[in-house]
Homo-oligomer: A and B are copies of this chain.
């Protein structure tokens, strides 16, 4: 059983401003946030693309963790750069500019090592690319994907084709409603599961998350955070903790394993929002994670 996780997604430079300050060209991207989180639990192989301007210090930061960067190709040009800001409610990112740069021509080609990973996470990229990557894989035992409003609007058919082939979908509540045209999240999740995924996780920001699996509907709260500095990447950090824990578990199809995965995802994302970029997550210790996990699960124990 391969515990290796393959993640395919964006590697970015983020310029973000919030009420607590701003960053310029800080390390970001879905594959980065996911990898730093997941690698706390299982080995990660990252497939992505950067430009010639990608700082060696960022590469070093990632490779210090259990993250294999052989699939992070360097292309002539500049790295994907996102500029955005958040209001004090941190609910919606306002995009100021998206410079796709080399990411516009991203066409993931997997190596034999990548193809045999047991677990695949398709971060939020074009669903046609997601499907292409999945087609290259040998026989992963667990495939999960994320998506976004943009693809639901513009490439719904491609997305539906992908969903038919994945085990697990991570999706925001607004996106779940957009995809199904249904407001109630229980009903929406049922509709999404009919499209393919055996399990659906609906992410609700500071309202927590919901897991739909078998006959179970489980709502879990967010871990309260007193100073939210930057929510960028919180969803991917959540998915990283979740998938990392599943990859390290012998059987992800056990609802108690999925519940622990929800708790680890929640805990990892609560760290993520406490600082800009990956400042809080890139050198987290197992002890810090375990301590917050215990605090969180204990807070939910009603006895």
Residue positions of A touching B, CB distance < 8 A: 88-89, 183-187, 204, 206-208, 210, 216-228, 256, 259-260, 262-263, 297, 299-303
Determine the distance from Cα of A207 to Cα of B222 in the docked complex, in whole angstroms: 10
Which residue of B206, B226, B262, B300 contacts A301 across the interface (Cβ within 8 Å)?
B300
Task: For residue A222, give the distance in angstroms from its CB to the closest CB of chain B.
Answer: 6
From B89, B185, B224, give the contact of A186 (CB < 8 A).
B224
Q: Is the CB of A219 within 8 A of B226?
A: no
Q: Name 7 extra pairs, CB < 8 A, besides A218-B299, A219-B299, A260-B302.
A: A184-B228, A186-B225, A186-B226, A206-B207, A208-B219, A259-B302, A297-B303
A224 CB contact (under 8 Å) in B183, B219, B300, B302: B219
**Smallest CB separation, A147 vs chain B (Å):** 22
Cβ of B224 and Cβ of A221 under 8 Å apart?
A: no
A194 to chain B, nearest CB (A): 15
User: Are B300 and A300 in contact, with the CB atoms below 8 A?
Assistant: yes
**Cβ-defined partner of A256 (8 Å) among B186, B221, B263, B303:** B303
Q: How far is the CB of A191 from chain B (nearest CB, A)?
A: 12
Given A183-B89, A221-B219: A263 in contact with B226 (beta carbons within 8 A): no
CB-contact partner of A208 in B89, B183, B208, B263, under 8 A: B208
Q: How far is the CA of A299 from the CA of B225 in the complex (A)?
A: 23
Q: Is the CB of A217 within 8 A of B224?
A: yes
Least CB distance from A183 to B in Å reads 5
Minimum Cβ distance to chain B for residue A84 (Å): 19
* Distance between Cα atoms of A92 and B216 in the complex (Å): 29
Q: Which residue of B lies closest to A301 (CB)?
A: B301
Residues of B near A262 (CB, < 8 A) are 302
Task: Tell me the complex Cα distance, A185–B222, Å.
Answer: 13
Shortest Cβ gap from A143 to chain B (Å): 24
14 contacting pairs across A/B (C-beta < 8 A)? A184-B226, A184-B228, A206-B207, A207-B208, A208-B208, A208-B221, A218-B299, A219-B221, A219-B224, A220-B221, A259-B302, A263-B302, A300-B300, A300-B301
Q: What is the chain B residue whose CB lies nearest that of A220?
A: B221
Is A207 a contact of B204 with CB atoms below 8 Å?
Answer: yes
Closest A-B pairs by Cβ, 3 of them: A207-B207, A219-B221, A300-B300
Quote the shortest CB–CB distance from A293 to chain B (angstroms).
9
CB-defined contacts of A260 to chain B, threshold 8 Å: 302
Q: How far is the CA of A226 from the CA of B219 in the complex (A)?
A: 13
Minimum CB distance partner of A205 in chain B: B207
